[in-house]
Amino acid sequence: MAKLSATLNYKWQLTKKHDIDIRVFAGTFLAGSDDERGYYAFRASGYNGWHDYLFDANFVARNERNGFGFSQFTERDGAMNVWTPLGQSSYWLASVNVKSPKLFNLPFKLFADLSTCDTRALNEELFLWDLGLNIVVCKNIIDVYIPFLYSKDIKETHELNDVDFVHSIRFTFNIHKLAPKKFIQNNLF
């Protein structure tokens, strides 16, 4: 089995203190059977603890499949900020993620995500998308994502899986980035 992917992270600076974060991801499998690829599939929603097969990130509850721990994710692959089982492709995936500058110097940003992949991993729509509010609790360490709008297929999937508004809220917790010196510089000055 062979997997190839690339991620481009770009900051478009509007002013000295305001920039738009743009992330572009594309990945494909080069070899391997469907059975081999399944566990290592590209995921539009990024990784929850039990998807992190390389153990690259730290999770509050790595193996939890519902509840608070399940809401934590890492911005990998498609990195959509809303959970969906759609877009788990063992062939290819492409996505674009955008975050606005802080709104009114408050720790709030808007986010938008767009993903597409092999149609076997989708329902009716060719693109999965979401739009919502990003609350920056601690810059680059803790972010909370509250989706307000998302594609029809994601909405139907949430209804089928009894995912209500509260359980659609997700967060990132990058404890590995907690270097005390950088934390103080980035958050207090």
Lowest mean pLDDT among 10-19, 94-103, 172-181: 172-181
The identity of residue 15, as a single letter, is T
Please state the pTM of the whole predicted model.
0.87
What is the pLDDT at residue 138?
Answer: 87
Could you read off the pLDDT of 39-80 as tens digits, one per residue?
A: 888 999 987 766 677 667 777 776 666 666 677 788 889 999
How many CA within 13 A on the CB side of residue 35?
0
Written as six digits, the tokens of 112 are 């938008």
Percent of the chain's residues with pLDDT above 90 = 53
What is the pLDDT at residue 186?
Answer: 67
Could you read off the pLDDT of 89-136 as tens digits, one per residue?
A: 999 999 999 999 999 889 999 999 999 999 988 999 999 999 999 999
Is the pLDDT confidence value at 189 over 60?
no
DSSP string, the chain: -EEEEEEEEEEEESSSS-EEEEEEEEEEEEE--HHHHHTT-EETT-B-GGG-TT--S--TTTT-SSSTGGGB-B--TT--SS--STTEESSEEEEEEEEPPPSTTSSEEEEEEEEEE-GGG-SS-S-EEEEEEEEEEETTTEEEEEEEEE-HHHHHHHHHTT--HHHH-EEEE-GGG--HHHHHHHHH-
What is the pLDDT at residue 47?
Answer: 77
- Write down the mean pLDDT value for the chain: 87
Distance CA 111, CA 83 (A): 14
